[in-house]
Amino acid sequence: MMGVFLILLWIMNMVQPNIFQAEGVQVFPPVNFTLTVSALAEVFLHWKPNPNQEQKNYTIRYDVEIITPVSEEYDTKKTHSFRTAVLHNGFLARIRTLLLFNDLQMKSDWVMGELKPPLGAAETSVTNLSCVTYITIYSTVSLHCAWFPGKRAPEDTKYFLFYRYKTYTEECQDYSKGKWNRNIECRFSRTHIDPEEVDNLIVIHINGSSKYAAIKPFQQLFNQNAIEKVNVPRNVTVFLEQNDLLAKWEKPISSFPEECFEYEFCLCNLKSGSKQILKVSSNDFRLRIDVTCRYSIQIRANHYICCERGFWSDWSEILYVGKH
């Protein structure tokens, strides 16, 4: 009895996928898969349905697999998509057709697509790139980046930095130079980075030229909030109320509301030399202290909850309370 049941199950399993076969349906890979660089660190992937692919009542989708630089898989009904990725080591992806009918699916073979890495001599690209953004009092964003020249970059190497934010791209005009007069820092006092946006990417592209070698370009993607040097908390006041220390302050200059900030409160007992750092998520603070001692107080801020944490602000100016 069990045997018959199993055989029945087995037959049902065999029959199901055969609906495609019974109808003689075949699935063909997409054609003319093309990759183009559509902006700095952005790839436009596009392809055509296979002209031999019969449509009938089936749903056609495409599986896309990005292999390098960062692996990612997704499927789409469209015959194109955009991807943001660092391209200095090339870009490799493959696609296939998916034919869907109820719960059944058939997959074609894969088709590969590749963008070759840009030319350039080994170890001529910049290293240790770091970038920081600052929100100004005018609610604009400035950007500052620094790097080291590549180990084998010739003395006459000239580096050029570009940033891209969404569709806007701009070349740096304000460089600082290091040894041998090579650019090692760049400043944009004003950018198109929107301080109200959350977790958007800033693309940095640095290429260069030299008479003696082809300079390999370098790219890096930064989360706009993760590289923000947060402003200092404002209007910090501290006073004593009986045996308690009370402190109040305002959030730093920022487009984010108060709830987005956390603070570190540094309390130093100048008599004993002991130092405490307390995490606070509100804009005020009360603490029982020994009022016979004198204390120094400083506060610094960071954003979180609303977006990625940034770089901690500088400490506020030192304030003192208590007896000498």
Ligand X SMILES: *[C@@H]1O[C@H](CO)[C@@H](O)[C@H](O)[C@H]1NC(C)=O
Residues lying near ligand X in the complex (CB under 6 A) are found at 31-32, 40, 48, 51, 56-57, 127-128, 160, 162, 207, 209, 234-235, 250
For tokens 């953004």, the residue is: 133
Buried b (16+ CB within 10 A) or exposed e, 81-114: bebbbbbbbebbbbbbbbbeeeeebbebeebebe
Residue placing its CB nearer to ligand X in the complex, 237 or 281:
237
In the bound complex, what is the minimum distance in angstroms from residue 263's beta carbon to ligand X? Answer: 15
Q: Which tokens belong to 270?
A: 């100048």
Residue placing its CB nearer to ligand X in the complex, 172 or 321:
172
Cα separation, 88 vs 148, in Å, equals: 17
Residue placing its CB nearer to ligand X in the complex, 46 or 294:
46
Cα separation, 198 vs 189, in Å, equals: 21
CA quadruple 126, 217, 81, 93: dihedral positive or negative? negative
For tokens 């004003």, the residue is: 190
Assign 312 to helix, strand or coil. coil
Cβ neighbours for 109, distance < 8 A, ≥ 6 positions apart: 29, 96
In the bound complex, what is the minimum distance in angstroms from residue 201's beta carbon to ligand X? Answer: 17
Residue placing its CB nearer to ligand X in the complex, 10 or 180:
180
Which helix H or strand E contains 219, and what residues bound it?
A: strand 218-223
Residue placing its CB nearer to ligand X in the complex, 238 or 322:
238
In the bound complex, what is the minimum distance in angstroms from residue 118's beta carbon to ligand X? Answer: 8
In the bound complex, what is the minimum distance in angstroms from residue 206's beta carbon to ligand X? Answer: 8
Residue placing its CB nearer to ligand X in the complex, 158 or 294:
158
In the bound complex, what is the minimum distance in angstroms from residue 12's beta carbon to ligand X? Answer: 21
Cα separation, 66 vs 210, in Å, equals: 33
In the bound complex, what is the minimum distance in angstroms from residue 128's beta carbon to ligand X? Answer: 4
Give the bridge partners for 238, in sequence order.
Answer: 247
